[in-house]
């Protein structure tokens, strides 16, 4: 199978910031991403869990973004402008993709 | 005084409170009991739907009272003003920084709908009526406090950055006003008003009969969440903060009482406006604070609101407000 | 005519419709109000469970009518045939390609169970009875239209590839027939039939009394989903398509009316068969189309079905079908 | 004998059983019908909440019987002892290794609360009363069997490693005792006891009227889960195991009958204690086994408990236990 | 800890295709995979969310598959046969695994 | 954007073991992780799904842990002590992170 190099960006961010992040990504021309739910976690601000929660305040989501390497910098800048003041984790991994023409 | 105690005792043994205590207890002993997030959200939707609709029907029954507008105005003013009192108190009573103090203050200006519902159910068991439109006042009081909190930060925060952001937060006001719980509460209120007693007859066995049982389940869940929050944030709960968490609702209740007396609400209505002023938000405001004041520590405001003030109102506050309203008001 | 308008007006002010409108409105103003996916699915399970069971009990009460078999047959034929009409219309009225047109056509041959439920509840409020087995007819009408849509693609699509795949889709027919909503609806129907009025007495306070209230919540959710769909797919909604979305249910209703008259259904039954023919699927068919016709654009068929035809039937269609059935049928 | 058959026949046609069968059937034909996980958990919470509360109210109505303590003791002993019988039987009747046999045995010492609920509902339809505190006995019987299973492994397992771990499992006992379902059941029981008939009146239309309907939905889900388990684990179900899955509940029921007779329970109470002893856990014990005995194959114990013994008790077992209790006990 | 090289394949695919994909994987001898829920996303066909949805039509799932490098090609061919006509993303990342004997 | 190298550890483990694993991670000084829900999967012990399940016995969760490379060994040893006797998958991927000072 023919595969092309790409970057897999994973952004774990607070749920109330989700729309702001995706809006910024859209503006930066990043229109492909997938959002995974998160059940809980732990960090410097302690442990948390979505169990029984009504407010979205305490939750996070994981946004996965497969992107061509040359567009990575733009994505990261856009993401950083939102994540900057907020808790959250941004990681980038090398990967290869099928049907690279789609990205 | 006798009545206060007997009322409080009766209240403390109602299933609603006992299920909250069960949740608290289960969380403290680290039981794995939990309510799925989707279920908790659905219970909350059910409560807003039912309380809004019933409020609307009640207004359509009794006609639009001349006091409606005054009450809405009072709600607006209380929600805007209370955070300033709270902020002042926090800065003197506790060692919280400006941003944390403003964030906590914002919670106390806004309201907790479950506390409101619990008060309604105490009124009911006492055979007391209240103005149906106080549901609309509840909705109106959700948001203004957030703006006060942001203004406090902009004004008092040394960190120019935080202040800037607090103001510059794009679309936040819109987001707050169109918050799901406000839209659902107001929407159901309007629908209840439009469909009137005929509409109520249609869905009565869904929103009236099982209401208290659903509330028990919801309070079980709130107990679990509050308990877990208290357990993991116990170290933040200095005496000053705890004291504030009990004092502030009393101050809020007094403010609510004054407003209700000026407007001329019924005893039941007075209790509800006192309860609204006394209660602190745990859904809408925390979410807004994460967006607008990310530097504020959520462990503090969530634990204050859900772990201290909510249980206080639920158990002692509401009976107390009722006694006051009966003694001095009505 | 008077009755149509008064009926429509009454219908428009029922809580069911108003909650749908609330959902639509909340979506349009981009409120974050939402019903958890698990809750929406559970509400849908509840509706299928209740409507199926009640239908079965009703058949066990009134005995198996000689018209049952004819009605099932009529349902089959309508579901198979309607897509052809719809396809022809779409190809002349709109600029949709073969595959998109066939996919949309398939939706209109199949049915929407909530529309059916809403019609039942309008009948009820008018004191009209209907044949209980129409629930079974509803189940029978879910799937055949999918085969018609695939056949249309195989016949008319220039793309050999799409045609091949449409036919070669392994296991699809099995999957469609054993679709969760069909199995639950038919199963509950059979169980209702077997347990009869005694069984109904057992679970009545679960499936009868709160039914309308649950339906309100479900329609709130459908309004939210439809509104979000409309907002994001507005650009696809050319005038031709919108016109089709209103015209096609009318054609379907007429076909349903003719069939009902031939069979000799009661006025209530006629309204229900008209409603089934007029309604478009938004659960089973979209899923089948994603598998069998991935090239078809889901924004188009989902928005047509949920955003145009569903609200039309809910608000104006059902009262209109009732008026027609009362004027000409019965 | 006549009564057994007519009872069994009546039972088999009750909606509760029929919905379980519908679930089984849907799973066997690979329908995609499914209940969301969050909904299944919420239904289970509802059942525990309702059954616990009603039990507590019943005790508060009838006063604490002198037999309460004896029943709790009997429950403890049965839960501890039954796994030993089960283990012996499994080692002679089947080819299961020590660890798998001990794990399965642990399930049979513990209980299934839905089986208990189903028995209650059969009693009700027969107009038979029972001791409300048997709900507490049910809670008490959940955990001890787990310890017996671990002891059996420690004693008989060749693998020193497994034995070591089974004992060394830190915090397991605590975890088992504070298991969510035990806490909720006991908590609701206590709350029911404290709030008494007045509390029941408050939430009756939530926990009494709709109870059977909710139970139907829950059993639909259990049928789906059991059916999927049976389908994917059919190859493990050798004749010996299946025979055990039917024989063991009978042995348990006899043990329960003896205990009930010694204590002097009513006919209804006897049936419930027999049912508890006859039933096998499918929530708490499997989770404990994954932690403490990961080497044991979950397909075996889950399928035995949920796929064989649960349906057996539900359909034939309970009517049989009732006949026995009526013939010999009371 | 002793670790071995492996490939982490992540397939984001429409929910109605889930069973078809896993059947094909099973046939290709790929019996180890884990399925994660997806809440929403965005792509060329626009933005979507699972909120309030009843039909599975509009949803996606993420299937994660850890596999020995020499078996990657077979997996990709199998996956491609299903994904081909459908929307969806297939990425491959290098990783290392504990307890490699299991794969 | 300035990024630093890190490791992305993904542990897929049975739900009843979740607390034991996170306790061990906490003890080993690993306080940053995120927990994702898992819907179903397949392995040597067959196929499973969370649909309609009440017990947590049959479920799994995915724990994602971004960590500085030099702390990887400690994490793996801690994780292994819990996973050892249990089913579950542990993978490690190279990645880079924004705001590396947080890890
Ligand atoms: N090292 C990490 N690996 C994975 N997730 C993390 C990490 N650090 C933080 N998180 C996630 O981000 C949330 C907030 O982190 P913090 O700001 O450190 O409290 C945590 O609750 C985790 O869900
Ligand atoms: N570049 C990407 N990164 C992550 N997920 C993607 C990407 N592109 C598409 N997706 C996912 O696949 C779905 C369908 O994509 P598309 O076919 O482009 O509409 C989207 O809604 C996303 O959930
Ligand atoms: N190769 C794999 N890739 C991804 N997940 C796996 C793999 N093997 C096992 N799993 C997950 O771990 C669970 C238990 O695996 P096993 O112990 O092989 O039955 C499976 O049901 C999957 O959820
Ligand atoms: Na307040
Ligand atoms: Na139709
Ligand atoms: Na037992």
For residue E49, what is the domain's CATH number? Answer: 3.30.70.120
CA distance linking residue C206 with residue C50, whole number of Å: 8
pTM: 0.96
* Total length of chain C: 330
Task: Give the closest residue (by CA) to ligand 1 atom 15.
Answer: A43
Between the CA of E95 and the centroid of ligand 2 the distance, in Å, is: 23
**Residue F41: helix, strand or coil by DSSP?**
strand
Question: Would you say D74 and D137 are in contact if contact means Cβ atoms under 8 Å apart?
Answer: yes
* Total length of chain E: 103
Question: Would you say C321 and C249 are in contact if contact means Cβ atoms under 8 Å apart?
Answer: no
Q: From the CA of D232, which ligand is nearest?
A: 3
Q: What number does the ligand 3 atom closest to the CA of F41 have?
A: 23
- Residue segments in chain E with a per-residue pLDDT below the cut of 70: none
User: Dihedral of the CA atoms B271, B275, B278, B282 (nearest 10)?
Assistant: 180
CA distance linking residue C249 with residue D51, whole number of Å: 48
Closest by CA to F13, choosing from F28, F4, F1, F24, is F24
CA distances from B26 to C96, D48, D179, D284, F94 (A): 59, 15, 10, 16, 41
CA distance linking residue D199 with residue E60, whole number of Å: 46
Closest to F40 (Cβ–Cβ): which among E35, E93, E97?
Answer: E35
CA distance linking residue D175 with residue D180, whole number of Å: 9
Give the largest CA-CA distance in chain D.
57
Q: Which helix (H) or strand (E) holds F31?
A: none
Q: F9, F33, F100: which to mutate for ligand 1, most atoms within 8 A of CB?
A: F33
What is the average pLDDT score of chain A? 92
Residues in chain E closer than 8 A to A97 (CB atoms) = 89-92
Going by beta carbons, is chain B in contact with chain D, meaning 3 or more pairs sit under 8 Å apart? yes
CA distance linking residue D89 with residue D83, whole number of Å: 10
Three-class SS of D208-277? CCCHHHHHHHHHHHHHHHHHHHHHHHHHHCCHHHHHHHHHHHHHHHHHHHHHHHHHCCCHHHHHHHHHHH
DSSP assignments along A38-65, one per residue: --EEEETTEEEE-TT--SSTT-EEEEEE
Q: Phi/psi zone of residue A75: left (φ > 0), alpha (ψ -120 to 50 degrees), beta? A: alpha
Per-residue model confidence as pLDDT tens digits over D180-219 = 999 999 999 999 999 999 999 999 999 999 999 999 999 9
**pLDDT for the residue numbered C7:** 78
**pLDDT for the residue numbered B160:** 60
Locus of tokens 């029922």 = C14
**pLDDT for the residue numbered C294:** 92
Closest to D41 (Cβ–Cβ): which among B14, B18, B36?
Answer: B36
Measure in Å the smallest separation between the Cα of D27 and chain F Cα atoms: 12
Q: How many helices (H) and strands (E) does chain D have?
A: 18, 0
User: ipTM surpassing 0.90, yes or no?
Assistant: yes
Cβ-defined contact of D282 to F55 (cutoff 8 Å): yes
> Residues 6 or more apart from B97 whose CB is under 8 A from it?
none
**pLDDT for the residue numbered D159:** 64
Name the pLDDT band for D160 (thresholds 50, 70, 90): low
Name the pLDDT band for C62 (thresholds 50, 70, 90): confident
Per-residue model confidence as pLDDT tens digits over B163-213 = 555 545 667 888 889 999 999 999 999 999 999 999 999 999 999 999 999
**Residue B236 tokens, joined:** 């933040």
CA distance linking residue C217 with residue D216, whole number of Å: 21
Closest by CA to B24, choosing from B211, B222, B156, B214, is B222
Between the CA of E32 and the centroid of ligand 3 the distance, in Å, is: 5
Q: What is the DSSP letter of C126?
A: T
Question: Would you say E25 and E33 are in contact if contact means Cβ atoms under 8 Å apart?
Answer: yes
Task: Give the closest residue (by CA) to ligand 1 atom 12.
Answer: A88
Q: E70: domain range?
A: 4-102
Q: How far is CA F26 from the centre of its chain?
A: 13
CA distance linking residue B84 with residue B68, whole number of Å: 25
Residues in chain D closer than 8 A to F18 (CB atoms) = none
DSSP assignments along C266-318, one per residue: -HHHHHHHHHHHH---SSHHHHHHHHH-TTS-HHHHHIIIIIIIHHHIIIIIH
Question: Would you say B216 and B16 are in contact if contact means Cβ atoms under 8 Å apart?
Answer: yes
Decide: residue D262, CB within 10 A, 0-12 exposed, 13-18 middle, 19+ buried. exposed
With a 6 Å cutoff on the Cβ, whether F33 touches ligand 1 is: yes
Task: Give the closest residue (by CA) to ligand 3 atom 16.
Answer: F43
**pLDDT for the residue numbered D10:** 82
**pLDDT for the residue numbered C162:** 57
Q: How far is CA C320 from the centre of its chain?
A: 16
Q: What number does the ligand 3 atom closest to the CA of F47 have?
A: 21
**pLDDT for the residue numbered B167:** 47
**pLDDT for the residue numbered A55:** 87
**pLDDT for the residue numbered C8:** 80
Closest by CA to B277, choosing from B6, B58, B81, is B81
What is the average pLDDT score of chain C? 92
Determine contact: F77 vs chain E, CB below 8 A. yes
Average pLDDT on D257-264 reads 96
Average pLDDT on D115-132 reads 94
Cβ-defined contact of C228 to E53 (cutoff 8 Å): no
The CATH code of the domain at B37-328 is 1.20.1530.20
**pLDDT for the residue numbered B174:** 87
Question: Phi and psi at residue E89, in whole multiples of 5°?
Answer: -130, 135
Question: Phi and psi at residue D291, in whole multiples of 5°?
Answer: -80, -50
Task: Give the closest residue (by CA) to ligand 1 atom 14.
Answer: A43
Q: Phi/psi zone of residue D314: left (φ > 0), alpha (ψ -120 to 50 degrees), beta? A: alpha
**Residue D96 tokens, joined:** 């299961």
**Residue D3 tokens, joined:** 């009564």
**Residue E42 tokens, joined:** 């965005």
**Residue D133 tokens, joined:** 């505190």
Question: Phi and psi at residue C218, in whole multiples of 5°?
Answer: -65, -40
Decide: residue D237, CB within 10 A, 0-12 exposed, 13-18 middle, 19+ buried. middle
Q: Which helix (H) or strand (E) holds E13?
A: strand E3-14
**Residue A33 tokens, joined:** 């991403």
With a 6 Å cutoff on the Cβ, whether E48 touches ligand 2 is: yes
Per-residue model confidence as pLDDT tens digits over F23-36 = 999 999 998 999 99
Which residue of chain F is at minimal alpha-carbon distance from A62? F36
* A37-66 b/e (C-beta count within 10 Å ≥ 16 → b): bbbbbbbeeeebbbbbbbbbbbbbbbbbbb
Within a 13 Å sphere around the CA of C256, how many CA atoms are in the beta-carbon half?
Answer: 35
* C55-65 b/e (C-beta count within 10 Å ≥ 16 → b): bbbbbbeeeeb
Q: Does residue D173 register a pLDDT over 90?
A: no
CA distance linking residue F100 with residue F103, whole number of Å: 6
> Residues 6 or more apart from A64 whose CB is under 8 A from it?
A8, A9, A10, A33, A34, A35, A36, E12, E62
CA distances from C55 to C213, C321, D217 (A): 19, 21, 17
Q: From the CA of A40, which ligand is nearest?
A: 1
What is the average pLDDT score of chain D? 92
Q: Compute how many other C-beta atoms are within 10 angstroms of the C-beta atom of residue C9.
A: 10
CA distance linking residue B219 with residue D203, whole number of Å: 14
**pLDDT for the residue numbered D170:** 63
Task: Give the closest residue (by CA) to ligand 3 atom 5.
Answer: E33
User: For helices C144-156 and C284-292, what crossing angle results, to 10°?
Assistant: 30
Per-residue model confidence as pLDDT tens digits over F58-103 = 899 999 999 999 999 999 999 999 998 898 999 999 999 998 777 7
Cβ-defined contact of D212 to C191 (cutoff 8 Å): no
**pLDDT for the residue numbered D167:** 47
With a 6 Å cutoff on the Cβ, whether E40 touches ligand 2 is: no
Closest by CA to B181, choosing from B38, B301, B283, B35, is B283
* Total length of chain F: 103
Q: What number does the ligand 1 atom closest to the CA of A46 have?
A: 19
pLDDT in tens, chain B (330 residues): 567 778 788 888 899 999 999 999 999 999 999 999 999 999 999 999 999 999 999 999 988 777 899 999 999 999 999 999 999 999 999 999 999 999 999 999 999 999 999 999 999 989 999 999 999 999 999 999 999 999 999 998 876 665 555 545 667 888 889 999 999 999 999 999 999 999 999 999 999 999 999 999 999 999 999 999 999 998 888 999 999 999 999 999 999 999 999 999 999 999 999 999 999 999 999 999 999 999 999 999 999 999 999 999 999 999 999 999 999 865
Rounded to a whole number of angstroms, the CA Rg of chain F reads: 15
Q: Compute how many other C-beta atoms are within 10 angstroms of the C-beta atom of residue B303.
A: 26
Closest to F33 (Cβ–Cβ): which among A36, A42, A91?
Answer: A42
Task: Count structural domains, chain F.
Answer: 1
Cβ-defined contact of A33 to E44 (cutoff 8 Å): no
Q: Does residue C167 register a pLDDT over 50?
A: no
Locus of tokens 């919905």 = D19
CA distance linking residue B152 with residue B255, whole number of Å: 20
DSSP assignments along C15-61, one per residue: HHHHHHHHHHHHHHTT------HHHHHHHHHHHHHHHHHHHHHHHHH
């Amino acid at each position: 199978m023919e595969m092309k190099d790409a970057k897999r960006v994973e952004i774990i961010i607070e749920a109330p910031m989700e729309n702001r992040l995706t809006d910024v990504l859209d503006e930066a021309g990043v229109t492909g991403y997938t959002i995974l739910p998160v059940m809980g976690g732990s960090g410097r601000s302690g442990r948390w869990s979505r169990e029984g929660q009504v407010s979205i305040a305490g939750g996070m989501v994981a946004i996965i973004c497969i992107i061509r390497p040359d567009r990575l910098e733009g994505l990261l800048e856009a993401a950083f402008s939102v994540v900057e003041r907020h808790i959250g984790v941004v990681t980038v991994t090398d990967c290869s993709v099928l049907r690279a023409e789609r990205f | 005084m006798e009545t206060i105690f007997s009322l409080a005792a009766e209240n403390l043994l109602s299933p609603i409170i006992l299920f909250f205590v069960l949740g608290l207890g289960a969380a403290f002993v680290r039981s794995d009991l939990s309510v799925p997030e989707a279920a908790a959200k659905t219970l909350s939707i059910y409560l807003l739907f039912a309380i809004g609709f019933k409020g609307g029907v009640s207004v359509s029954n009794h006609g639009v009272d001349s006091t409606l507008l005054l009450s809405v105005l009072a709600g607006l003013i209380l929600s805007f003003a209370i955070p300033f009192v709270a902020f002042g108190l926090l800065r003197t009573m506790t060692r919280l920084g400006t941003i944390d103090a403003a964030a906590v203050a914002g919670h106390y200006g806004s309201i907790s709908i479950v506390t409101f519902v619990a008060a309604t159910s105490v009124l009911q068991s006492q055979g007391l009526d209240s103005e149906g439109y106080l549901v609309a006042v509840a909705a109106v009081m959700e948001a203004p406090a957030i703006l006060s909190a942001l203004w406090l930060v902009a004004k008092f925060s040394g960190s120019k950055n935080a202040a800037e952001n607090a103001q510059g937060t794009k679309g936040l006001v819109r987001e707050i006003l169109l918050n799901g719980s406000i839209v659902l509460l107001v929407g159901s209120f309007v629908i209840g008003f439009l469909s009137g007693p005929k509409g109520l007859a249609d869905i009565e066995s869904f929103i009236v009969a099982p209401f208290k049982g659903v509330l028990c389940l919801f309070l079980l869940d709130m107990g679990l969440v509050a308990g877990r929050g208290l357990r993991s944030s116990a170290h933040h709960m200095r005496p000053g903060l705890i004291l504030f968490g009990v004092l502030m609702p009393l101050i809020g209740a007094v403010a609510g009482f004054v407003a209700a007396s000026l407007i001329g609400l019924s005893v039941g209505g007075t209790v509800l406006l006192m309860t609204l002023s006394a209660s602190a938000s745990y859904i809408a405001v925390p979410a807004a604070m994460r967006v607008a004041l990310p530097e504020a520590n959520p462990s503090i405001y969530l634990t204050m609101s859900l772990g201290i003030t909510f249980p206080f109102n639920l158990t002692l506050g509401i009976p107390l407000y009722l006694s006051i309203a009966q003694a001095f008001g009505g």
